[in-house]
Structure 1
Amino acid sequence: MVSYRCLLKTYSSQLPSLSVILIFMNEALSIILRAITSIINRTPSRLLKEIILVDDFSSNEELKAYLEEKIKLYNQKYPGLLKIIRHTERKGLAQARNAGREAATADVVAILDAHIEVNVGWAEPILARIQEDRTVIVSPVFDNIRFDTFELTKYELAVDGFNWELWCRYDPLPKAWIDLHDVTAPVKSPSIMGILAANRLFLGEIGSLDGGMLVYGGENVELSLRVWQCGGRIEVLPCCRVAHLERHHKPYALDLSLVLKRNALRVAEIWMDEYKDMVYFAWNIPLQNSGIDYGDISSRMALRGKLKCQSFDWYLKNVYPILKPIHNIVGYGRLKNSLDENVCLDQGPISDNTPIMYHCHEYNTQNVYYHLTGEFYVGPLIAEAYTDDRCLTDPGYGEKAMLKPCSKAAKNNLHIYWDFKPVSDVILKDRAQGAAGSRGKTRAALLSPSMNRVPSIARGIQGRAVINRATKRCLEMKKDTSGVYRLVLQTCTSQVWTIQYTVRNWGSN
């Protein structure tokens, strides 16, 4: 699985020493033993100083006395090589990793999951690169081991990135690296996936991992932003490959969504400056009074000041330009029609490109983003250079609205721009144009009796008509023959929509 070019590389005989840290919580004992065995067999003994196991308060019985016996057997053959740290309460992934780093004594720490197997020659590229530059945090290339068959699948080289929910993903290789024509060269990466190696002292100097990140998720992005913004760099090493065991479920919790939201907000508040709004938008969280306690961040803000870190704007421009912020979102969340507030606008099946009305839920297929310029994005917020968000579109014929890639739709002059107006403005305009015989009537007379049922909407805070600027048709609902509301484009009536959250009092006057 390692490139033949990597196998031809030679390294100094005076490389730094290595501490390997394995984190586990209710891992299968056999998996932990496989990880230990692969590390011992595939790491030169002159480089491997210790393997430190960190047990984040496992409850599995086999991980207690039986594991201790296994450690004794290893240490009989390799004296003093294995150590174990046991938490007396569950502290989460970040604090478990910190405990391992604090106990380590080698020059370099490799912080790994316990459900991995390292490949031949994995350690030398790490140690050589960190010897060259102590401020580099490095990540291996991952391969995948299926949990049910243990079949190994080779993954292609990619860089590690993240979306606006701060959830990790793979991004394309940068052109600057491709132009080197050297498949063994380190690759500049915006982020790490979680497994990492670093100079032990440097990692401590920049604050290790943020112990305020709870349970699991987001700690990799937090460290990545801190490294880049505070004077370090992150690279993926093509000649270092580690196989990661795909697991059927995460051991910490079946549903991590609340923790992931909380951790994402903590990262945003510490490191993302004015761009933190994008995280709130992506998770559909109100900008004010979110109701989410992301913990005390004063010590991390003080660390940022002490290290004289760069801004997140600098990070976007210099490290991660393909992640695109959106500056003109004025409304976001669930879009509901007053005829039935139990259903929400939904992107519907991707293949159909047709939005629908569907029972309201919390998944991001019902995320809606209204722009000051008039576009409605529907579905997960993407905001990337190479992938389009999908815009609500009036095709100009028929009753069905469509979802089209925004940049292509704009280029092809499709009807993607909408007014989101107080319904009173729409009705008054229509009636003023068509009521030549009604000039003597008062404004109150024009509004009654049909508008008497929505006096608060007539004042125009949230209840608004959705009108296509080009076709002048409204997005509305009507019942089909089965009594279910469906989305239609038609001549405007008095139907109104509300959007869940607004940005900085937009629409309040």
Structure 2
Amino acid sequence: MRFPNSPLFKRWGDNLTEDQEVAAQGLFVQYGYNVYLSDQLPLDRSLKDTRPSRCQEKKYPHDLPTISVVLIFVNEATSIILRAITSIINRTPSHLLKEIVLVDDCSSHEDLKEPLEEKIKRYNVKHPGLLKLVRHQRREGLTQARISGWKASSADVVAILDAHIEVNHGWSEPILSRIKEDRTVIISPVFDNIRFDDFGLVPYIEAADGFDWALWCLYESVPGDWYALKDETAPIQSPSIMGIFAADREFLGAIGVLDGGMNIYGGENVELGIRTWQCGGKIEVLPCSRVGHLERAHKPYLLDLFPAMKRNALRVAEVWMDEYKYMVYYAWNIPLENPEVDFGDVSARKELRKKLNCKSFDWYIKNVYPNLVPQTNIVAYGTMKNTLSEDICIDQGPVPGNTPIMYGCHGYGPQHVFYHSTGEIYVGNLQARRNAVDRCLVDTGQEEVPFLEECNEAIKKGLSMHWDFRQGVAVVNRKTKRCLEIVKDQGASYFRLVLQNCTGQKWTIQHTVKDWGSKGTAG
């Protein structure tokens, strides 16, 4: 094996020659999935039906709304796009499938130019007028590509998908039937995983879609009231939505499609989820609609998504999250005053919200997403330094593990510290969700070093988790009276965190809330 460390060859490729290995690895590095294998697989390959058994027995009316399917791509492998198209044609009733709209967000690969257009023409000979191609003349990003697809679509319902998918058996009828019942529902299918190496289909269990306070997408457990129905075909209420969804085309337009002010990638689907609920719609996941989604082993483009995600998250916060927007600032470690992040002009989106008479984010949390828990007592946050050494910061340390350390300051999540007016110190990425507990800094009273303990467990165990602190002074445990300090052992080149009798060391934290920590305001 010429590439023993490549994940491509862990499950696949035993019978390849050296030349074939080199070719396969080169394509894998370029695309993040196994293009060498994809080019050999049939475009109309069979897929295991992953629907629950009752879904397979379910019957739907013949006279359902028509559907336009939008496929977004940039520098995708041609065989992947063609397999997506083929699966849609083969597994969508022809009287319901009005068109497939391909949106090319300014690909640079030559095979996606004239050669792709020739292939589209061949499809349209067999299926007249079925395929449309929309090309961006410059790279506009995922959100704008989806908006372009919506604009080019003309059916009753629009499904906006990635191009690296394969729809499964009976995927469209549950969507169209549910939207016929209620045109204000935006639907997510259940995603199954198409493995990047051998293209095996791995069924995923049903889940709702959610997000954390940084507005990163995540899966949520299915609500208990869904299980109480004892009907595996029933829609699952979801607080948010992932990037693949279907909606009544006119309803989606009426509530503002997607936020065209978003940059490149990230946040647009969370914004859609919040806006849909607050503005009179609802989000549901349909267990009977299954779409296989090809997971890349690595993204070969735009490796650092953080700047775009941060900017987009602030757009969502400023327009939709009202008095809770500060939680997004905390989660991204951005100062509340003068954030120095240009999130663009949001006036049109605020006007849209006013025009639609949308509900508040407080309503959304209480009625749709109670798993999000706002933190009202945080008074200081960000990186935390000792004045003895300004280039190192408190860090959560190795994970798994519960021992915080001092480490060179980088300011990412492991070094986020949150000090509460009630005395707790959270260390690490802010969770603030009911089923994902934050970790508190504790003094056991026995050990020389501090520990991180899940805050609810620290309360149960009666651990010393409350600290007195003001900007530029000592950090003192209220119960043990020991100070959080740093020491350098004899012969060592680095500082470590300890708990000891106070020697007068001082700490500073990066951001404060309002005037906390100024002279005369105790923590």
User: Among residues 244, 258, 269, which one is paired with 1:195 in the alignment?
Assistant: 244
Q: Secondary structure at the residue paired with 2:265?
A: coil
User: Among residues 471, 484, 487, which one is paired with 1:478 in the alignment?
Assistant: 487
Quote the residue 1:101 is aligned against: 150
**One-letter identity of the residue aligned with 2:175:** I
Q: Is the 8 A contact 1:135 1:232 kept in 2?
A: yes
Pair 1:129 & 2:189 matched: no
* Distance across 2 between alignment mates of 1:143 and 1:382: 27
Quote the residue 2:189 is aligned against: 140
Q: Is the 8 A contact 2:174 2:288 kept in 1?
A: yes
Larger mean Cα displacement after TM superposition, 229-238 or 342-351: 342-351
**One-letter identity of the residue aligned with 2:474:** A
* Distance across 1 between alignment mates of 2:243 and 2:518: 43
Q: Is the 8 A contact 2:382 2:411 kept in 1?
A: no
Quote the residue 1:445 is aligned against: none
- Correspondence 1:44-443 to 2 at 5 A: 44-250=93-299, 252-421=301-470
Q: Is the 8 A contact 1:375 1:418 kept in 2?
A: yes
Quote the residue 2:53 is aligned against: 4
* Distance across 1 between alignment mates of 2:280 and 2:473: 48
> Shift of residue 208 of structure 1?
0.5
* Distance across 2 between alignment mates of 1:464 and 1:85: 60
* Distance across 2 between alignment mates of 1:35 and 1:295: 35
**One-letter identity of the residue aligned with 1:507:** G
**One-letter identity of the residue aligned with 1:25:** V
Greater radius of gyration (CA):
1
Quote the residue 2:512 is aligned against: 502
User: Among residues 48, 51, 66, which one is paired with 1:17 in the alignment?
Assistant: 66
- Tell me the percent identity: 65
**One-letter identity of the residue aligned with 1:192:** I
**One-letter identity of the residue aligned with 2:339:** S
* Distance across 1 between alignment mates of 2:104 and 2:436: 40
**One-letter identity of the residue aligned with 1:121:** G
**One-letter identity of the residue aligned with 1:67:** L
Quote the residue 1:441 is aligned against: none
> Shift of residue 363 of structure 1?
2.0
Pair 1:488 & 2:467 matched: no
Q: TM-score, normalised by structure 2?
A: 0.89
Quote the residue 1:463 is aligned against: 472
* Distance across 2 between alignment mates of 1:33 and 1:350: 42
> Shift of residue 362 of structure 1?
2.8
* Distance across 1 between alignment mates of 2:112 and 2:493: 57
Q: Secondary structure at the residue paired with 1:46?
A: coil
> Shift of residue 147 of structure 1?
1.5
Quote the residue 1:451 is aligned against: none
* Number of residue pairs aligned between Structure 1 and Structure 2: 469
> Shift of residue 68 of structure 1?
0.1
* Distance across 1 between alignment mates of 2:480 and 2:385: 22
Q: Alpha-carbon deviations, 1:210-239, whole Å to 9, x = none?
A: 100111111000111110000000000000
Q: Alpha-carbon deviations, 1:93-112, whole Å to 9, x = none?
A: 11111111111110000000
Quote the residue 1:30 is aligned against: 79
> Shift of residue 49 of structure 1?
0.5
Larger mean Cα displacement after TM superposition, 477-486 or 207-216: 477-486
Q: Structure 1 unaligned segments of length 5 or more: list them.
A: 422-461
> Shift of residue 248 of structure 1?
3.0
* Distance across 1 between alignment mates of 2:197 and 2:399: 30
Following TM superposition, where does structure 1 have runs of at least 4 consecutive aligned residues deviating by more than 4 angstroms?
A: none
Q: Is the 8 A contact 2:106 2:135 kept in 1?
A: yes
> Shift of residue 251 of structure 1?
5.3
**One-letter identity of the residue aligned with 2:514:** R
Q: Secondary structure at the residue paired with 2:325?
A: helix
* Distance across 2 between alignment mates of 1:291 and 1:495: 31
Q: Structure 2 unaligned segments of length 5 or more: list them.
A: 1-49
